[in-house]
Structure 1
Amino acid sequence: MCGISGFISRQWPEQDLRAMSNCIRHRGPDAEGIYYNSRDGVGLAHRRLSILDLSSAANQPFYSSDGRYVMVYNGEVYNYREIAAEYGLTTRTSSDTEVIIEMFARQGIAAIRQLNGMFAIAIYDIKEQQLFLFRDRVGIKPLYYFFDGQNFAFASELKSLFSLPVTKEVDTTSVSNYLYLGYIPGRNTIYKHFNKLLPGSYAIIKDKQVSEHSYWKLEDAITPSVITNEADAFAQLKELVISSVRYCMISDVPLGVFLSGGVDSSLVAAVAQELSDKPVKTFSIGFNESKYNESGYARQVASHIGSSHHEFIVKENDAIEIVEKLTGIYDEPYADSSAIPTYLVSQLARKEVTVALSGDGGDELFMGYGFYYWAKRLNNPLIKAFRHPIGQLLRASGDNRKKRAAYMFGYPSAARRKSHIFSQEQYYFTEKEIHELLKSPRPVLFDEELDDHPRKLSVIEEQSFFDIKNYLPEELLVKTDRASMQHALEIRVPLLDHRIVEFSASLSQDLK
């Protein structure tokens, strides 16, 4: 886990590159590396958090053995040893960094499809004077870029781009989407000209042109038929989870697990403990208020699996102090209050370990959120029969959430209801309210975000795929990355191994 930044511009000197790197020094306190090519106006910067091959030989920027390519990279590729063995790579280091660039030198863009892991990669081709950017399939690692038609820059965080002499202009469409969804979907950010490279995508930058392409899509994992046999599904998923957790435990530094006591984190912790020959360190956050405090569940799980458990009870002053820091951490609007406990559990874990495993992704892949149950309830024949009086009762309520729920009962078709299902747990404004506030185009709607797929999906399945493509990378994983990297802590997410994601897409809704 690290921080990367860079640019292609003849207007920005090397000191601007160093300023970009300095803005994200918290992501990599162990080493800094700079590549600056004054002939091409190209700069690459890297802040290193040492996880694999702790020697200086693995520092970045890293050159290919033939000297043609230079790379900076953030993340981890878990299957790098298998790749090196399969292709007979003779490497100078024991790091995944070298395997990535040597595979790219051999196979070009096709090499990325062989990587299993989380990554944001920038590779400059010195010979052809072109830059390649890659982002992992699910969007675990962030990668932002700025392009105004003349100058191009990229970075792990927006604050690094903000250090450049560029103008920031708020995008009202992004504001509209943020108010409706609680985050900004797709490639946009809150500012014009500042974008995200989409998950599963790569970009080629050459001659002041930026072209983006996809190398992986969730839709490609949707099969014409689904897995319906529970025993077969259980066996397949068990094998995949064990394999993924084993991969995620590869580390040359101390490692632990976030443990909330919920199903997903408990599963990851239990498998990690089963694979370890000593007690795994687990970490949880609790609260003084009993109705919010779930730390007791985490303690019970830790006791059952035999982990070495660490707990922090959040006090009011702790939360207030962190709220004041959030603007500087997230760089654009962020609506999830769980950013506070995530920050605190990362702070707690970093005192003991450098790498932590998280259960993120399970709710999205296997429909664990409450709004999935809302969707199922709406199909109840009794509710369908009385949807008009139910809607009237909800609209008469003084509770804003109930008023928003009333919109769902006003739509006779599932296609029109689905965009409102989400608002019951996450969103704050209706489309009409946003339009009245901003006089802007209506927010992006759920059904406009899905590409073609080989079988007809239910409304609830579409909901789940929307979450995986949007909520997961643009909200949940943003929180995990920013909160952990403030403390130079690497978070790994075994349940988001692309093999598990693809498996979930082929699984019957009834088994989720």
Structure 2
Amino acid sequence: MCGIAGAVRFDGDRVRRNLVTRMMATLDHRGPDDEGIWLEGPIGFGHRRLSIIDLAGSVQPMRSIDGRWTLILNGEIFNYKELRRGLRYPFRTDGDTETLLAGLVEHGIGFLDRLVGQFAFAAFDHSAGVLHLVRDRLGILPLYYHRDRGSILFGSEIKTVLAGLTHSPDVDLASLDAYLYGRSVPAPFTLFEGVRKLEPGHRMEVRLDGSMRDVEYWAPPAADSRRWRATDAVDAVDAAVTDAVRSALVADVPVGSYLSGGVDSSLIAAKAAELSHGRLQTFAAGFGDPRHDELPFARQVAAHIGSEHHEVHVDSADFESLWHTLTWHRDAPMSEPADFAVYRLAQAARREVTVVLSGEGGDELFAGYPKYRVARAMESLSLVPPSLRGFAGRALDPRLPASLGRMRIALRAWAAPSREERHRTWFAPFTADERLGLLSGVPTRPTSMLRAGDGSDAIREMLLGDLRSWLPDNLLERGDRMSMATSLELRPPLLDHRLVELAFRLPSSVKVHSGQTKWVLKEVARRYLPAEIVDRPKVGFRVPLDSWFRTSLRDNVRDRLTGPSSFVAQTFDRNMIRAMLDRHDSGQFNEESRIWTLMSLEVWHETFFSPMHVAPAIRLETPARTAQPEALPAA
């Protein structure tokens, strides 16, 4: 992967080189191998390259032979070799970037529909005077922008956009409610006022007069009307996973695989090992806590598939030493405690490979979370009037001990006042009532995770909601930032859009089957992995924060969340926060998710808004660089 940056002025004035250079300075970690700048009047593009395909060629920005298109690409087009065979273009490189460029020349922006891969790109059509900003179908790769009356700035990371602004934006207070829902802000908004992110499966057309048009070019398909036999579904998913992993292995550099010991990453690693003829390196992380340690299972899978296995260990010291650094890379509050482990994993993997495969997407495509098992029952139980559900939830929630954590989550979801709230509450640290109390006087903005639906298939609606926000705004943002912080390219094969489309055509009955979640994918995995790996209970990538927040991190947490200079304490209800910390200290209740949510927000505010952190964090100073030609040669 790479990093892209750019600007378009609407007043006709030219884009200055120092602006693009300043923006590119925030992207060194995304592209340590090369850089390029193109300037032409009111438009400027910048590119930082991590060389994965066609290592010696494919310099960007790239101009088409006919001079009509200029392109910068972040990501990979996995089917570029197949696409090249159908294009009548005088290729001068052997890479995927020029394949995309040639497709734009012959077919226009509609060529986008033929791409298989993960990408975010900017393409300027000189003849039409239109800038196209494009994000891949699932939102694997990011693209942010800021528009005012005079220009639009865009880049692969928020800090890239911030570096191009003449002023520092404020906190977008209206996004705090959404953040308290799921520890991330759904697209198109961010926690920075005025900074937006392009939604997955969308492209933006920007004209030189400042007009803009947002186009959704992809959405999951409807479920098939035909009946699927269970064995046919398993065979189809097996073949699609194989094709997806084969595509994700396309590279001119070494490719490895993350291996947690869970079903998704183990299946990906097994397929990759088979397709790589056994020449695969795998990577796992542990936390030294037997309650959540999956390293023995990862070792078992590595031995089974014959991979060269590596392990890394994470402890509470990593949190204290890395929190600000990783928040700077994340551009947002650290959404999950596992972010730290993913970063340590990326560090270990980058010493051996340049590309790594991961298992993201299995739960969100094939209904792997416990909530999917009870989705239909929850719909029936929710026929109880909202007022009674809310009363019961408020009465029982504070009394449930830490040992009944899953029951507490289910109770909160059941007590939610609407179907929309119920779907969101499964992952929400705070209930609607708690958010209302915390945010007293703070403006809010309505957001929705759900597509239009009649409620007839609760599992499908949950999957669509997770695919729309939880996956791209939380898990994929985490994966992109933590891997690119180490200049490592992350590829999640399960999010190959062809496999995603198959998953959403399949009926929910093969995803949750006889009380078994993720049934069809587990049946595929059963063909390649030991039964004890496939059938063991879901653990998840857990960090023992509950104990750390009572011991090594306790004082740090109290100071940051209740102190006089705390953004969280000044913005939210301080008494509610103190009561939450006291409950957790008692040892009878586990408030780690809520504490983590508020702590991550506080560290984010320190990183980007505190005088102690903001200057080095967004690197507004421009480092010395080799001069780049302003003229761009044709590819």
The question of whether the paired residues in 2 share the 8 Å contact of 1:435 and 1:441 is answered with no
On the 8 A contact 2:14/2:43 being kept in 1, the answer is no
Distance (Å, rounded) in 2 between the aligned partners of 1:388 and 1:175 = 23
C-alpha distance after superposition, 1:258-303 (max 9, x if no partner):
0001000001000011111243000000121111211111000000
Quote the offset at 1:399 in angstroms. 5.1
Q: Secondary structure at the match of 2:418?
A: helix
Q: In the superposition, relative to structure 1, how do residues 71 and 382 fare at CA in structure 2: closer, same or farther (>3 Å)?
A: closer
Amino acid at match of 1:288: G
- Equivalent residue number for residue 319 of structure 1: 319
Q: Give, in whole Å, the separation in 2 of the partners of 1:382 and 1:4.
A: 47
Shift in Å at residue 91 of structure 1?
1.3
Amino acid at match of 2:222: I
Structure 1 residue 99: Cα displacement: 0.5
Measure how far apart 1:120 and its partner are: 0.4
Query: Paired residue for 1:366?
Result: 366
How far residue 124 of structure 1 moved from its aligned partner, in angstroms, is: 1.4
Q: Taking structure 2 as the reference length, what is the TM-score of the superposition?
A: 0.74
Q: Give SS of 1:163's match.
A: helix
Do 2:367 and 2:463's aligned partners in 1 also have CA atoms closer than 8 Å? yes
Deviation at 1:443, TM superposition (A): 6.0
Q: Could you tell me which residue of structure 1 aligns to residue 134 of structure 2?
A: 134
Give, as a single letter, the amino acid of the residue that structure 2 aligns with 1:44.
F
CA distance in 2, matches of 1:171, 1:118: 29
Give the 3 Å change call, closer, same or farther, for CA 404–275 of structure 1 in structure 2. Answer: closer
- Kept in 2: contact 1:257–1:357 (CA 8 A): yes
Q: How far apart, in 1, do the equivalents of 2:493 and 2:271 lie?
A: 10
Q: After superposing the two structures, state which structure 1 stretch, 360-369 or 167-176, moved more.
A: 167-176
* C-alpha distance after superposition, 1:75-110 (max 9, x if no partner): 001111111112344411110000001110111111
Q: Please say which of residues 151-160 and 389-398 is displaced more in the overlay.
A: 389-398
The verdict on how the C-alpha distance between 1:294 and 1:500 changes in structure 2, with shifts beyond 3 A counting, is same
Structure 2, gaps ≥5 residues long? 512-635
Q: 2:460 & 2:97 partners in 1: Cα distance?
A: 37
Aligned to 1:63: 63
Structure 1 range deviating more: 269-278 or 85-94: 85-94
Instruction: Tell whether the 8 Å contact from 2:258 to 2:356 is kept in structure 1 after alignment.
Output: yes
- Contact in 1 for aligned 2:424/2:449 (Cα 8 Å): no
Classify 1:14/1:508 alpha carbon distance in 2 versus 1 (closer, same or farther; 3 Å). Answer: same
Q: How does 1:55-204 map to 2 (within 5 A)?
A: 55=56, 57-164=57-164, 165-204=166-205
Give 1:318 deviation, angstroms.
2.8
Partner of 2:225: 225
Report the residue type matching 1:359 in the other structure.
G
Aligned to 1:356: 356
Between stretches 283-292 and 15-24, larger displacement belongs to 283-292
Contact map agreement 2:413 2:425 (CA 8 A) in 1: no
Q: Tell whether the 8 Å contact from 2:455 to 2:461 is kept in structure 1 after alignment.
A: no
Residue number in structure 1 paired with 2:505? 506
Question: Residue 484 of structure 1: CA displacement?
Answer: 0.2
SS at match of 2:297: helix
Partners of 2:254 and 2:279 in 1: CA distance: 12
Contact 1:130/1:205 (<8 A) preserved: yes
Residue number among 195, 215, 218 corresponding to 1:216 in the alignment: 218
> Is 1:394 the counterpart of 2:393 in the alignment?
no
Q: CA deviation at 1:422?
A: 4.2
Conservation of the 8 A alpha-carbon contact between 1:187 and 1:197:
yes
3-state secondary structure, aligned to 1:420: helix
Secondary structure of the 1:312 match is strand
The structural deviation recorded for 1:228 is 3.0
**1:347 and 2:350 are equivalent in the alignment:** no
Distance 1:66 1:396, change over 3 A: closer
- Structure 2: which amino acid aligns with 1:192? E
Shift of 1:462: 0.5
Structure 2 counterpart of 1:483: 482
- The residue that corresponds to 2:555 in the other structure is none
Change (3 A) 1:407 1:480: closer
What amino acid does structure 2 have at the position aligned with 1:19? R
Q: CA distance change for structure 1 residues 227 and 189 in 2, over 3 Å: closer, same or farther?
A: farther
Contact conserved, 1:71 with 1:122, CA < 8 A, in 2?
A: yes
Moved more, 115-124 or 386-395: 386-395
Cα distance in structure 2, aligned partners of 1:149 and 1:2: 29
Q: Would the alpha carbon gap of residues 341 and 226 (structure 1) be closer, same or farther in structure 2, given more than 3 Å must change?
A: farther
* Partner-residue secondary structure (3-state), 1:121: strand
- The match for 1:271 is 271
Tell me the residue number matched to 2:235. 235
| Structure 1 Cα separation of the partners of residues 469 and 382 of structure 2 | 32
Deviation of 1:377 (Å)? 5.0
Q: After TM superposition, where is structure 1 displaced by more than 6 Å over at least 4 residues in a row? A: 380-390, 400-404
Cα displacement (A) at 1:408: 4.1
Q: Is the 8 A contact 1:365 1:501 kept in 2?
A: yes
Instruction: Return the offset for 1:315.
Output: 3.1
Kept in 2: contact 1:378–1:384 (CA 8 A): no
Q: Is 1:23 paired with 2:22?
A: no
Measure the CA separation in 2 of the matches of 1:383 and 1:168: 45
Q: CA contact under 8 A between 1:360 and 1:496: conserved in structure 2? A: yes
Give the paired residue count: 500
What residue is the counterpart of 1:36 in the other structure?
39
Q: Which amino acid aligns with 2:61?
A: P
CA pair 175-102 structure 1, distance change in 2 beyond 3 A: same
Q: Residue 223 of structure 1: CA displacement?
A: 3.2
Please give the alpha-carbon distance, in whole angstroms, between the structure 1 residues aligned to 2:396 and 2:4: 49
Match of 2:554 in 1: none
Counterparts of 1:85 and 1:215, CA distance in 2: 24
CA deviation profile, 1:363-416 (whole Å, cap 9, x unmatched): 1001111222343553687998997997476245065966665444446xxx82
The answer on whether the counterparts of 1:6 and 1:43 sit within 8 Å (CA) in structure 2 is: yes
Q: Relative to 1, partners in 2 of residues 1:477 and 1:409: Cα closer, same or farther, differing over 3 Å?
A: closer
Distance in 2, Cα, partners of 1:458 & 1:79:
34
Cα distance in 2 between the residues matched to 1:273 and 1:194: 41
Q: Within 2, Cα distance between the matches of 1:496 and 1:255?
A: 17
SS at 1:24's partner residue? helix
Q: Deviations over 1:189-247 (max 9, x none)?
A: 112321111111111111111211111112xx113526531111111111111111111
CA distance in 2, matches of 1:74, 1:388: 46
| Distance (Å, rounded) in 2 between the aligned partners of 1:11 and 1:148 | 16
Relative distance call for 1:409 and 1:16 in structure 2 (3 A) is closer
Structure 1 residue 420: Cα displacement: 2.9
TM-align CA RMSD? 2.5
The offset of 1:167, in angstroms, is 3.8
Quote the Cα distance in structure 2 between the aligned partners of 1:81 and 1:392: 58
- In structure 2, do the counterparts of structure 1 residues 404 and 283 end up closer, same or farther at CA, with 3 Å as the change threshold? closer
- C-alpha distance after superposition, 1:424-456 (max 9, x if no partner): 4x32222233233333566646xx443446x86
- What is the alpha-carbon distance in structure 1 between the residues aligned to residue 445 and residue 210 of structure 2? 31
Shift of 1:508: 1.3
Q: Report the TM-score, using the length of structure 1 for normalisation.
A: 0.91
| 1:326 to partner: Cα distance | 2.3
Counterpart in the other structure of 1:45 = 46
Q: Is the 8 A contact 1:374 1:421 kept in 2?
A: no
2:460 aligned with 1:461: yes
Identity %: 37
